[in-house]
Chains A and B, each alone.
Chain A
Amino acid sequence: MKFTYKSGQQPLPGYSLKRGIGLGGFGEVYFAVTDGGKEVALKWIRSHLDIELRGVQQCLNLKHPNLVHLYDVRTDNQGYTWLVMEYVAGEPLSTILARHPNGVAPELAAQWFAGLAQAIHCLHEHGIVHRDLKPGNIFLENGLIKVGDYGLCKHIADSNNAGMTKDVGTVHYMAPEISTGNYNRQIDIYAAGVLLYEMLTGHVPFEGESAGEILMKHLTAPPDLTKVPKDFVPIVAKALTKNPAHRYQTITEMARAVAAVVSVKQAVPTMLAGNRDPIPPGLEQVPMVIPVTPTMILQQRWSELSGILLWSVVASAILAVGWSLIFSAWPFPHLASIFFLTVAASWAVVIPSKLWVPGSEDDSWTRRLILMSLGFAVAILGLWIEGYELPLPWATPARVEVLQPWPGDPDVRPADSWVGKLYRSENTSMPVLACYLSYFGLMFLILRWWKATEVNRPGRVMTKPIVAAAFWGYLLLFLLPSVHHREIAFLSVVMTSVVCQVTCPWKEKTSARGKKKLRLATA
């Protein structure tokens, strides 16, 4: 670590720097002693001045035993700003957790969590969102939790969600909604969930090679809760829900749930040993156990699903644009058709696949039949995109009539009702509606599409399903009338196979990988 100032220097009159403590994204932190002998931590602010100071103003006079106190904001002779803070002699939680690679005892984690919750509660009570909760910002001094570095704090505006999209927090603790720039104090509850997970298991729920990969997992992947002690699973699951509306609404509510788990466990020995109150003081003493209900599981799946659905739109658009770059001669309407069909088909695959319980393979044909019916829906959408009116009951009464094959020129399309548009194609004797229904229906029936969406599939993007989709898609092309843009249907089926695999979260089998250090922890 290279610090700008050396031991013994006095950049700020009255404060002798003794040693550097840490380097952070916002500046250097030093240990200093005042002329009067007070030990302080001095933060030399070099960048992001506006954000830092705006937050500091809100927090300067907060008092809480679980918060690292801010004493003052000073300016040195060179015009630099210094933040004078309480010096915490203890260790950061990051150092402590590094010594416990498998997590700490649930009782200890619950005790620490109570302190953490008190601090967050105090901040939230004063309308401040911490936004950067992480083990490097949380200290343990003589058994007391101290939460620091709330210089990043943001004032909650009167409106429910105030937007500000500056870089917030450290990526391992970052709630999914931060990427939208539209977030509130719920992000602290998410981060508290990540911290509880990490205290109990020794590692964070989402790890990855790059910040982008981790962010993507926060957005889409469900956390693996198998290592979390059983009693804490519903609490961690609820705090880590993707949709902020489904998390605990207040940190006190979450702290009460955590305290309840420990108090239930300790109930018997406590009664024998005398009535020591296991619930941390200051919290309302209403123990509440949150059972996992099927609705909660469904909510969780839905929130995961909504991420996938969103991303599949993006992936389809990228693929369609990529296609247009290769075949620049293609007209725009074709690309638009491919895009819409791919989105529809991938949604038709992903929605049921993600709602099914993974692993139960016995009902393969039920699944195929459900997918086939969704394939029919995709076929009707395809027809509609092609320019046909939909067979709706309130449509104009039809003249039953069999027309000659459509000559391919859009201007001469008969514009009457849907039945009037039942053509006979050149190479089949079926009406177009039946052609489309059978093409997409069979495509969805033949292949086991859900295999490509499973979390534990062999690879992120596998070639086998794509080749299979291409093979069957090509083989069944005979069903489609040659007068139509058959390649649109074919391509959208192949692209669906790609999109599903790209967007559905995938977990590598060997997951023991070191946590990435993205930002240096500072005091």
Chain B
Amino acid sequence: MINEPTAPTPENLQDLLAPYALWIDGVGGYLVCLSHRVTIGQAQGETPVDIALIADVSRHHATIQRDTEGYFLEASRKVLINANAMDKALLRSGDRITLGASCQLQFWQPVPASTSARLDMVSGHRFAQPVQAVLLMADTLVIGPAAQSHVIVADMTQPLILFRTKAGLSARWSGTLQINGKSFQERGPLEAGARLANEQITLALERIS
């Protein structure tokens, strides 16, 4: 079913790591960051950051890096983690990250089997993208009814899994999936601009330039 993976070239590697906006009907909008290293800063910066905030923070305020041990936060400016000033810290699920005076994010790793993480805005500030949370996608993203999901959708009866392939992203679902109007069994590829639907959920993946 999936297109034969092609070996990543430097150009399409850049392409593969570009962020997406994930729009889930009736649930919300999410910024999906695929890079293992994401920068956080103010939306008005000249060099664009991966997670742009509409808040009183620096143009490049902090960096979150994923490696084998987990997520490390490196502060370029004043960062508090659970009210303690930090320059570098290993993030644990539930940590509150305060950037500057007032902007606060909360870090979650809700799925034990997945290293992917979610960043919620808890201080009432907005992301530059019209989304409500950021998903730092490592290998998989779980969208499902359980509390141990990256995106909780209470009405579902089984989870929808998004996972990485060499060619990009794919979706896994036990049942039939409609992607851009074509039917797929169990799994199907998700390209930029793809619209996925099954009987329980409809979502769209939008490439962000």
Contact = CB atoms under 8 A, between A and B. Distances in A.
Contact of B29 (A1, A6, A31, A142): A31
B124 A19 contact: no
B125 to A, nearest CB: 9
A141 B125 CA distance: 11
Contact of B202 (A3, A22, A23): A3
A1 B26 contact: yes
A65 interface: no
Contacts of A1: 25-26, 202
A161 interface: no
Interface string A10-31: 0000000011111100000001
Nearest to A20: B25
A36 to B, nearest CB: 12
Interface string A440-470: 0000000000000000000000000000000
Nearest to A30: B25
B195 to A, nearest CB: 5
A7 interface: yes
B26 A6 contact: no
B42 to A, nearest CB: 16
B26 to A, nearest CB: 4
Contacts of A143: 124
A19 B29 contact: yes
Contacts of B21: 18
Contacts of A89: 126, 132
A2 B155 CA distance: 13
A39 interface: yes
B204 A19 contact: yes
B70 interface: no
A33 interface: yes
Nearest to B205: A7
B28 interface: yes
A8 interface: yes
B74 interface: no
A22 B204 contact: no
A23 B193 CA distance: 24
Contacts of B26: 1, 3, 19-23
- Interface SS of chain B: helix, strand, loop or mixed? strand
B204 A33 contact: no
A466 B29 CA distance: 61
A18 B130 contact: yes
A8 B204 CA distance: 8
Contacts of B203: 7
Task: Tell me which of B23, B193, B203 has the highest count of chain A C-beta atoms within 10 A of its own C-beta.
Answer: B23
B130 A39 contact: yes
A519 to B, nearest CB: 15
Interface string A127-167: 00000000000000111000000000000000000000000
A142 B204 contact: no
Given A31-B29, A142-B124, A7 B132 contact: no
Contact of B195 (A7, A20, A33, A142): A7
Contacts of B132: 89
B24 interface: yes
Contact of A7 (B28, B124, B204): B204
Contacts of B193: 8
Contacts of B24: 19
A2 B23 contact: no
A316 to B, nearest CB: 46
A484 B29 CA distance: 79
Interface in A26-48: 31, 33, 39
Nearest to B26: A1
Contacts of A141: 124
Contact of A8 (B130, B202, B206): B206
Interface in B1-49: 21, 23-29
A31 B23 CA distance: 10
Nearest to A1: B26
Contacts of A33: 130
Interface in B94-145: 124, 126, 130, 132
Task: Tell me which of B25, B29, B204 has the highest count of chain A C-beta atoms within 10 A of its own C-beta.
Answer: B25
Contacts of B29: 18-19, 31
Contacts of A22: 26
B195 A6 contact: yes
Interface in B54-99: none
A141 B123 CA distance: 11
A418 B195 CA distance: 88
Given A3-B202, A8-B206, A19 B28 contact: yes
A448 B202 CA distance: 61
Contacts of B130: 18, 31, 33, 39
Nearest to B154: A98
A19 B126 contact: no
A11 to B, nearest CB: 15
Interface in A77-101: 89
Given A31-B130, A89-B126, A142-B124, A3 B25 contact: yes
A3 B24 CA distance: 11
B202 A2 contact: yes
B28 to A, nearest CB: 7
Contacts of B124: 141-143
Interface string B174-209: 000000000000000000010100000011101000
Interface of B: 21, 23-29, 124, 126, 130, 132, 193, 195, 202-204, 206
Given A2-B202, A31-B23, A89-B126, 18 more contacts: A1-B202, A3-B25, A7-B195, A7-B203, A7-B204, A8-B206, A18-B29, A19-B23, A19-B24, A19-B28, A19-B29, A20-B25, A20-B26, A20-B202, A23-B26, A31-B29, A39-B130, A143-B124
20 contacts: A1-B26, A2-B202, A3-B25, A6-B195, A6-B204, A7-B23, A8-B206, A18-B23, A18-B29, A19-B24, A19-B25, A19-B204, A20-B25, A20-B26, A21-B26, A22-B26, A31-B29, A31-B130, A39-B130, A89-B132
Please provide the 10 A-B residue pairs with the shortest distance between their CB atoms, ordered closest to farther. A7-B204, A20-B25, A19-B23, A142-B124, A1-B26, A7-B23, A39-B130, A18-B23, A3-B25, A19-B25
Interface of A: 1-3, 6-8, 18-23, 31, 33, 39, 89, 141-143
